Amino acid sequence: MDWTRILTNVAGEFFAPTTAAYALAAIGLNIHFGLTGLLNMGQAGFMLLGAYGFAIATIAGWPLWAAVLIAIAAATIFALILGIPTLKLRGDYLAIVTIAAAEIVRLVGRSTALTELTGASSGLRGNQYKDTFQDASPFDDGTWALGPFEYAVNASNSWWIRIVGWLVVALACLLVWLLIRSPWGRVLKGIREDEDAVRSLGKNVYSYKMQALVLGGVIGSLAGILYVLPRAVQPDSMGRSMTFFIWTILLLGGAATVFGPVLGSIIFWAVLAVVKLTLRDVVPTTILRSEQIEQFGWIIVGVALMVLIIFRPQGILGDKKELAINAH
């Protein structure tokens, strides 16, 4: 068994673009759930909308900044549409509506009726929309190697996407840190703990919840862009399971904390990589086929989510007293 290779691959997961994208999506969900107590079960829908918005605008010839703005606008509108009917209702209604809305986005996106726009179920290929992002790189083309990690500087799964991705994650962490300490963040936390008390203080709870939903959704849409830049926009890979992975990441790292989502994402992808790579090396393919190893990994994720929420709902970094999950 080749431990060096496995460890190198696992260490590569620590700063992979996918890890950054999931961390960012979990930061968005943290604003929904960790700060405000909103049960958003459709974070993948925000990501998919962001990805579609960015990719379609870029393919239409829009510059990078405009395409990102389109993604942000799409997520904002989506959040408003979701929030208007549900933010006044009980938490589990929001859960059902968001999961349904995310599914609508996916079903509409993969429909053959929109093939020209979204590429239907085969999606949009990465090199149709990657160029503006790659051209924005200040570095020369080539490959850089840092120890065992060697990636292209600008193309596809590159150092450039890693730098930008983790920079955005760092900025989002800073934002959450500032928000938690701000008067605005205190109102959100108040809503999470006791909505009626906040309302009795004269705050417009509905409006605060809506702002949180929009902000977290916008961060989700940026995560969606980050997620699809090194690959393709494929609606079926951004469905319900993706939302559930983001939830696992958030609960693993610790909801209502600044670095919980980042730590959660790193651990999530590293552990998955360890499990899969080890199984692939140890177990002969006659016993476990490669797709079964993949599925085994997801079974572990499901069980981990159950165990986490029962025994340690505050996650690794969280404080149990801080987060009363059942406030609503």
Partner 1 sequence: MRSAVLDPGGTTTPPLARRIAALLLLALTSVTLLLVATPARAQGPVASATAACVADAATGCIVGTLRTAAGEPVVGAVVNVTGPTGELTATSDATGRWSVAVTEAGEYEVTLDVATIPAGETLRDPGNNPRTVAVGLGASQAALFPLGAPAGGGGGDTDDEPSDSPTTDTEGGAAVPETPGSTGSGVTAARVAQLTVNGLVFGTLLALASVGLSLIYGTTGLSNFAHGEQVSLGGILAYVGTQVVGLPLIPSAIIAVALGAATGWLQDAGLWKPLRRRGVGMIQQMIVTIGLSMAISYVFQFFFGAGPLRIVTDTPTSVSIGPVRITTTTLWSLAIAAIVLGGVAFFLLGTRAGRATRAVADNPALAAASGISVNGMIRIVWTLGAGLAALGGVLIGLYFGATSWYSGGALLLLMFAAVTLGGLGAAFGALAGSIVIGLVVELSSLWIPTDMRYASALVILILVLLVRPQGILGRATRVG
Site string for partner 1, 248-287 (x = CB under 8 A): x--x------------------------------------
Binding status of residue 60 toward partner 1 by CB under 8 A: no
Task: Name which of residues 107 to 166 contact partner 1 (CB under 8 A).
Answer: 107-108, 110-115, 120-123
Q: How far apart are CA 238 and CA 274, in angstroms?
A: 23
Structure-token match 């959450």, residue found: 176
Total residues interacting with partner 1, rule: CB under 8 A? 71
Q: Considering the complex, what minimum distance in angstroms separates the CB of residue 30 from partner 1?
A: 15
Q: Considering the complex, what minimum distance in angstroms separates the CB of residue 100 from partner 1?
A: 4
What residues contact residue 310 under an 8 Å CB cut-off, 6+ apart?
Answer: none
| Tokens representing residue 85 in the block | 């009917």
320, 313 in Cβ contact below 8 A? yes
Q: Considering the complex, what minimum distance in angstroms separates the CB of residue 121 from partner 1?
A: 5
20, 169 in Cβ contact below 8 A? yes
Binding status of residue 234 toward partner 1 by CB under 8 A: yes
Nearer to partner 1, 39 or 180 (CB): 39
Q: How far apart are CA 295 and CA 155, in angstroms?
A: 30
Nearer to partner 1, 159 or 235 (CB): 235
SS3 of residue 140 by DSSP: coil
Q: Considering the complex, what minimum distance in angstroms separates the CB of residue 9 from partner 1?
A: 18
Q: Considering the complex, what minimum distance in angstroms separates the CB of residue 292 from partner 1?
A: 6
Nearer to partner 1, 172 or 233 (CB): 233
Nearer to partner 1, 110 or 162 (CB): 110
Stretch that binds partner 1, among 82-90, 131-139, 141-149, 166-174 (CB under 8 A): 82-90
Binding status of residue 319 toward partner 1 by CB under 8 A: no
* Residue 146 bridge partners (DSSP): 149
Q: Considering the complex, what minimum distance in angstroms separates the CB of residue 171 from partner 1?
A: 27
CA angle, residues 184, 190, 196, in degrees to nearest 5: 125
Q: Considering the complex, what minimum distance in angstroms separates the CB of residue 256 from partner 1?
A: 14
Task: Name which of residues 294 to 313 contact partner 1 (CB under 8 A).
Answer: 294-296, 298-299, 301-307, 309-310, 313
Task: State how beta strands 149-152 and 143-146 pair.
Answer: antiparallel
Q: Considering the complex, what minimum distance in angstroms separates the CB of residue 250 from partner 1?
A: 10
Binding status of residue 218 toward partner 1 by CB under 8 A: no
CA torsion angle for 133, 136, 142, 143 (degrees, to 10)?
-60
Instruction: List the one residue from 196, 284, 286, 321 that touches partner 1 (CB under 8 A).
Output: 196
How big is the chain by its Cα radius of gyration, in Å? 20
Which amino acid is it at 86? T
Quick one: how far is CA 8 from the chain centroid?
Answer: 24
Q: How far apart are CA 318 and CA 304, in angstroms?
A: 17
Nearer to partner 1, 178 or 299 (CB): 299
Element (H, E) at 144: strand 143-146
